[in-house]
Chains A and B, each alone.
Chain A
Amino acid sequence: MKPPPFTYHRPRDLDEALDTLAALGEEGKVLAGGQSLVPLMSMRLAAPAHLVDINHVPGLGRIEVGADVVRVGALARHSEVARHDEAYDAVPLLRQALLQVAHPTIRNRGTSVGSLVHGDPAAEMPAVLRLLDGTVTLRSVDGTREVDAESFFTGPMETALRPGELAVAASFRRPPAGGGTAFVEVARRQGDYAMCGVGAVVTREHGAVTGGRVALISVGAGPVLVDLTDAVDADTVDDDRARELVDAAIEPEDDIHASADYRRHLAHVLVRRAVDQARRVA
């Protein structure tokens, strides 16, 4: 369980990091928290020729709470985002989801933006970004582009990030005022990858529930977004209709931890639970 050799780069500012990534092209891989990358390398499932360590680039760890979005820098650790009270007040779903990301020791090093770029279909943060219509800010020597969540996740462990680009931040949009959010999941042990997980945003007008969206993890190629507004009528969410909408969207698969049928069952139960919780806090 030793990682394969690689050439190490330790840029001291953003320009140096972008120059290095530009020069390396396809060969370069960014090292941020490394909590997914290092074990993948140790298991020899990944063998990047060059690692560009951004941990010594100043300014990438900021968490900025704006009027519309919470912007999380590339080096903000999961634990820092989860602890951030202002970010929680603006976007409670961040903390709700982050407390289910692995264990505290992993969250102390792992970064939220890194989790997005890793694009694991079992990971929580991609679902949060999708649910909140977030964007990822990608920078390279050629400039900056903002990619919305829907376009960013292109497949299991695949994103729109191009060679030479660095994801410098992710922006999570505040949910509509008066709404509520929740994140629930079931894993075999606390801190394990979820067999299924569901984030929910419920919207209200004049006190009555008028809409709802969920994003499911571990039941598709990436976070699966389902709009439940069709299932909402006069402040109630029709469970049967919600189940149909969810069934049409998810594609659970068998693996060693759970059968596809069981994941489907979990999806139904967890959607109901997440929506209930989100309603209660709404």
Chain B
Amino acid sequence: MSDERVSVSFTVNGAPYDLQLPARRLLSDALRHDLRLTGTHVGCEHGVCGACTVLVDGAAMRSCLLFAVSLDGAAITTVEGCRSADGGMGPVQQAFHDCHALQCGFCTPGFITTITAYLRDHPAPTREEAREAISGNLCRCTGYVNIVSALQRAAELLARGEASTERTARSAAPSEAPDRAAAPEPSGASRLPPGPSTDAAAQPGSSADVSSGAPASAAGEVS
């Protein structure tokens, strides 16, 4: 059967893309192959391991269980979009660093995205809740103990506003910003923006994973 191409438009970490993709292209492959955003890792490719987790309109989903063409109009955030506005580590990434929550690092992008979304709705999880929050992500190195610690550490960092001050300030209404330091608790849930819109500025200039900040017209079909 022919692999005819289908038009699809979405944003990834705030950058808009208009693509022509084969219908069967998984989002995980579209991100890695077509957009060269190789931060998203592909483990099991059938929805079991959680390594490929990204945020779609703010909600954590497995990119290997989504057809890219089905996401017309969506706002996608990958692990590249979880860094801080200055291009340094975002709060969840910083927490993983602080707590030594990774060894080989293959599963880490899925944990970062999953935890980023989770903490938005659950700003102060217990260890028990933290374990449940990451139950859909497999890690074969760490034994999870340090990942649970990192999740709680990230919650602390977010509550303090460290490492996220800048992106928060840009994403929230300006008038809210001064209140945050004084009253971290109520604003904790909104500390991370629901979508990736604040990451647009970080993307084009960053060297890590993006071959071009300009909207790509998709590179070719692989097969």
Tell me the A residues contacting B by CB distance below 8 Å. Answer: 1-8, 10, 31, 34-35, 38-39, 41-43, 49, 51, 53, 55-56, 79, 102-106, 108-109, 189-191
Contacts and interface: CB of A to CB of B under 8 A. Distances in A.
Contacts of B2: 5
A55 B23 contact: no
B60 A104 contact: yes
A86 to B, nearest CB: 19
B53 interface: yes
19 contacts: A5-B1, A5-B24, A7-B1, A7-B4, A10-B69, A10-B72, A34-B70, A38-B26, A39-B47, A42-B46, A42-B64, A49-B1, A53-B69, A104-B118, A105-B60, A108-B56, A108-B59, A109-B56, A189-B135
B50 A8 contact: no
B106 interface: no
Contact of A38 (B22, B67, B73, B135): B67
B222 to A, nearest CB: 9
B93 interface: no
Nearest to B50: A105
Nearest to B59: A108
A35 B1 contact: no
Interface of B: 1-4, 6, 22-24, 26, 29, 44-47, 50, 53, 56, 59-62, 64-67, 69-70, 72-73, 114, 118, 132-133, 135-136
A5 B70 CA distance: 15
A8 B6 CA distance: 8
Contacts of B1: 4-7, 49
A109 B66 contact: yes
Contact of B26 (A3, A51, A109): A3
Given A3-B24, A53-B67, 10 more contacts: A4-B1, A10-B6, A31-B67, A38-B65, A39-B46, A53-B70, A79-B59, A106-B65, A109-B59, A190-B135
Contacts of A106: 47, 62, 65, 136
Given A43-B46, A109-B66, A5 B61 contact: no
A145 B178 CA distance: 57
A49 B66 CA distance: 17
A6 B24 contact: yes
A8 B23 contact: yes
B210 to A, nearest CB: 24
Given A1-B45, A10-B72, A56-B72, A105 B136 contact: yes
A190 B47 contact: no
Nearest to A37: B65
Contacts of B118: 104
Contacts, number: 99
B24 A35 contact: no
Contacts of B67: 3, 8, 31, 34, 38, 51, 53
Main secondary structure on A side of the interface with B: loop
B66 A5 contact: no
A31 B68 CA distance: 13
A31 B23 CA distance: 12
A103 B46 CA distance: 14
Contacts of A104: 60, 118, 133, 136
A191 B133 CA distance: 11
Contacts of A108: 56, 59-61
Nearest to A108: B59
A53 B6 CA distance: 12
Contact of B65 (A35, A49, A56, A190): A35
Q: Which of B2, B44, B46 has the most chain A CB atoms closer than 10 A to its own CB?
A: B46
Nearest to B54: A105
A3 to B, nearest CB: 5
A2 B94 CA distance: 34
B65 A34 contact: yes
Contacts of B64: 1, 38, 42
Contacts of A79: 59
A189 B65 CA distance: 20
Contacts of B114: 105
Nearest to B53: A105
B47 A5 contact: no
B59 A55 contact: no
Contacts of B72: 10, 56
A59 to B, nearest CB: 16
B211 to A, nearest CB: 23
A189 B29 CA distance: 28
Contact of A5 (B3, B46, B56): B3
